[in-house]
A and B are shown apart, each in its own frame.
Chain A
Amino acid sequence: MASPSFSQSRAFPILLGASTFIGAFVALEVLLRYGVVNKYVVPLPSQVLMSLERIVVEENIVGRMRDTAWEMFVSCIAVIVLGVPMGALLYRWQPLRRALLDWVAALAAAPLVLAFPLFLVIFGRSATTVIVMSVITGLAPIVIKTTEGLLGVRSVLINVGRSLKMTDAQMLRMILLPAALPVIFSGIRLSWTFVLISVVGIEFLINLGGLGQLINDLAERYDLPGTYGAIGFVILVSVIFFMLLERVESWLRPAR
Chain B
Amino acid sequence: MYAFDIERPSTIADAVKALKDEDAQALGGGQTLIPTLKQRLAMPSALISLTGIGEMKGVCLADDGAVCIGGATTHATVAKEAAAHYPGLAGLAANIGDPAVRNRGTVGGSLANNDPSACYPAAALGSGATIITNTREIAADDYFQGMFETALEEGEVITEVRFPVPEKSHYQKFVQPASRFALVGVFVAKYADGVRVAVTGASENGVFRWSEAEAALSADFSAAALEGLTVSAGEMIADLHGSPEYRAHLVKVMTGRAVTAVA
Q: Do A and B come from one complex?
A: no
**B interface with A by C-beta (< 8 Å):** none
**A interface with B by C-beta (< 8 Å):** none
